Chain A
């Protein structure tokens, strides 16, 4: 008979006054073999319970499965995905003898395999590998100047990009998985604003230690990036700009409500103070032939950008009132008047330039602005936040319509546009092949602006040299080395890549600078250079924010009200306060830094509540004050290490082999909680682009 607990009737006796050693007398009163009452009722209840059991499993069997269905196709994982499979290569056949070694040997082997590749997602996803992690670290420590200078290494205009960048870093941010991405772009802007206050103390001209001189044609982001890199390597650089003001597309194309001009000119002035020679109003090809530059300088970089707007050759495209996007934006940006006051404007195109045109038209007094594109509203090529802001301001979007014919009056003025319904834009193979439907629509308008793409205008620039253009007016350029077929002449920016982002242009500028440096030193240009694909990071579903504390949420960028801001070129984003920026920077998890930042996600994940974390967040004092992993509670599920953003907590080989005893479990608390300073915390050592060698 098994032991019962004397349930109910107080049968647990103590002999009063007896020594405590006396065993308790526990009479067994329950017949444990029977769970049912006796008699007929018990008989039926017994059989009923059997049938209930059958019913439960029967219903189960008929219901849908809830567990994973094994995929029939093999899943291809990115090599950067290191979850539970991290140990795969290690536990391969050849390495098995290592298991007999002392734990540290084995650990080192594992460390080496995953350390080879440990850029944080924000840095890896940025075309120019801007060190957003280091920025977050310095800003959280209230060291805005260090943050600015660190960012400037790879992103030569942090203040500008802090306003206009399309922030692939935030898209890849690991924090998307936990709650909301870090506001990396607004932090660039904050770093700039803090730096601007003390810039005079920190700006030092570069020492030009080399004799070779370099000319850069165009002062857009890519040209300036190349110039900055070459100056830091010790080359004197001269930048030629055909307009009266520098900045290239940033000056002529990006509207002032997104990028206030004083920010742009300020940052370019910083570059001038560092020693860059800027020649404004010199149109290479007209005022100076490019052959002169090639003869005068040891290397020339063509970073002229895209100058021509494409216009569809529709019937009536030469009527009065049909405009290209770039001339329209130049007029709006430079004169504040695009000639649309009191008129109706129709913008053709769905990209970012089209949205800029539409919003500029509103600001220069158009009565009604429509934006029409082939794509459906959810597949427009512009960034979603841009079209959202435009719609807030009153732009009317007409999605899934293609232009058919410009309707003109007898005097040859635009009076409207005939549109045709577009069913799909791309074919099954993903090529541009619009399918049109049978519905037509006539839109009355006074001005039609085509924002369907830009093209380079290099014919004048290269005139007289032996640089030849292709039939379509493009300059043949090596996409990895950024060389042209003329030795010593390089190209970068949108001339090479086609319409793209500012940060993408900056990335090509850095690459072109490496090529120039190697060319001038007579080294092999191609050594260890590979076409640099942007690594693919996991795209996270939007995290559930229910129950997430306010302190964990992303800071909200204050915006000017849509009604007011659409009337002039005032800035739309108003900027963060100093405290907001500090808090936001402190949210950064410093992914892959291998230092515990006290994010507490391991403790939140732990099913056994075995982990305790405490930390302080004051600038200068930021550290983890308490970290404890109770190995007696730990069930070795590994969930903590799976989600640790910094890789401070990792599986070791021994971790998987703990079924014999718990001796070899590695919990390197000292390693995890070591000083947060140094390169591993700022990530400085992780952001060398391919082919970038020592020399800085």
Chain B
């Protein structure tokens, strides 16, 4: 019973975290893309336009919730939640401080990699239930892409299991050594790239490809349901950033107590920024390039990393 109560509490906390992350993330992304494109970005509402996203949220909530006449209504309505919920769940196993994760489980690493993969089903359902050519193409593209990138992404974090001898994130954080950073450099790059691809963010945003597919699998969504998709995207961004920061850079081992948490937040923000930076730097890839990178570049790289770590482990 108490497990259910805690589950509800952490579920709400994750929801709030994602909402805040999306609120600040959208603002930050707009500012950053503005700077990159030599514009200014939002500036009218609040200091430096900070309240712009809040105003946009109100607008989105008030907009009409449109359901296409031909759509499979039930699936159409729940699809955004199927996309959003697993991503929110994945945040539960992240270590937010030394010795603290909301859900402390011995298979945390597996949980973090496996649960968000369920959202592929939501994307596919959204595309299919819209009964719209573009949406369906977008959904299929998304499924192919997300499943492909599962592999290098999971492989890229396997070295932690070898090094720490545990799949429990808290154990990994505790076992963290500074020389992991140079050792796991290749794995980090693979993790970062495949996380971006997993989120369908640019330059891997083929499923949404505005210029080809209108908006891909969520072409027919509006208002609050559309914004749940966007929340899922930013939630995934936050999850990838916080998990990467905690595991690859070991902020809790570098600085003790609250200082470590601050460092953790800063590192997460930097990682998120780098992912946004990539979106506003590189053009969208072609599907063949996308698959080529996943199978011919990232997967071998992750395997090389695994072999490298495997060679080091006996000497520890």
Which residues of A are found within 8 Å of B36, using beta-carbon distances? 57, 60-61
Chain A residue contacts of B34, Cβ below 8 A: 65
> What interface size band does chain B fall in?
10 to 19
B289 partner residues in chain A, CB cutoff 8 A = 33
Closest chain A residue, CB of each to CB of B293: A46
* Partner of A57 from B40, B43, B44, B280 at Cβ < 8 Å: B280
- Closest A residue, CB atoms, query B31: A61
Which residues from chain A contact B59 at a C-beta distance below 8 Å? none
In the assembled complex, the Cα of A49 lies from the Cα of B205 at a distance in Å of 20
Residues of chain B within 8 A of A92, CB atoms compared: none
- A632: chain B residues at CB < 8 Å are none
Chain A, range 42-82, C-beta contacts under 8 Å to B: 50, 53-54, 56-58, 60-67, 69-70
Residues on the A chain within 8 Å of B281, using CB: 53-54, 56-57
Report the minimum CB–CB distance from B259 to chain A (whole Å). 28
Q: Is there an interface contact between B35 and A61, defined as CB atoms closer than 8 Å?
A: yes
Number of A-B contacts (CB under 8 A): 40
Query: Residue on A with the closest CB to B280?
Result: A57
Check: B39 CB closer than 8 A to any chain A CB: yes
Known: A33-B286, A57-B277, A58-B277. 18 other contacts (CB 8 A): A33-B288, A53-B281, A53-B282, A54-B281, A56-B281, A57-B280, A60-B37, A60-B38, A61-B32, A61-B277, A62-B35, A63-B38, A65-B35, A65-B40, A66-B38, A69-B40, A70-B40, A70-B43
Q: B292 near A: Cβ within 8 Å?
A: yes
A60 to B35, CA, bound (A): 7
Closest to A62 in B: B35
21 contacts between A and B (CB under 8 A): A33-B286, A33-B288, A33-B289, A33-B292, A50-B282, A53-B281, A53-B282, A56-B281, A57-B281, A60-B36, A60-B37, A61-B32, A61-B35, A63-B38, A64-B38, A65-B35, A65-B38, A65-B39, A65-B40, A67-B38, A67-B39
The reply on B58 being an interface residue by CB < 8 A is no
With both chains docked as a complex, state the minimum distance between the C-beta of B103 and any C-beta of chain A, in angstroms: 35
Asked if A70 and B44 make an inter-chain contact with CB atoms under 8 angstroms apart, the answer reads: yes
Interface residues of B (CB under 8 A from A): 32, 34-40, 43-44, 277-278, 280-282, 286, 288-289, 292
B196 → chain A closest CB, angstroms = 12
| A52 closest partner in B (C-beta) | B281
Taking CB atoms, residues of chain B closer than 8 Å to A56 are: 281
Determine the chain B residues whose CB is within 8 A of the CB of A57 once the complex forms. Answer: 36, 277, 280-281
A51, chain B: closest CB distance, angstroms: 10
Bound Cα distance A62, B277 (Å): 13
**How far, in whole Å, are A550 and B232 apart by their CA atoms in the complex?**
65
Min CB distance B262 to A, Å, is 24
| Minimum distance in angstroms from B43 CB to a CB of chain A | 7
Which residues does chain A contribute within 8 Å of B282, judged by CB atoms? 50, 53
B46 to chain A, nearest CB (A): 13
Inter-chain contact A67/B40, CB cutoff 8 Å: yes
Cα distance A50–B34 when bound, in Å?
A: 20
Among all A-B residue pairs, the 10 with the closest Cβ atoms: A61-B35, A57-B281, A57-B36, A53-B281, A61-B36, A66-B38, A60-B36, A67-B39, A65-B38, A33-B288
Residue of B nearest to A66 (CB): B38
In the assembled complex, the CB of A180 is this many whole angstroms from the nearest CB of chain B, namely 35
**Cα(A33)–Cα(B277), bound, Å:** 24
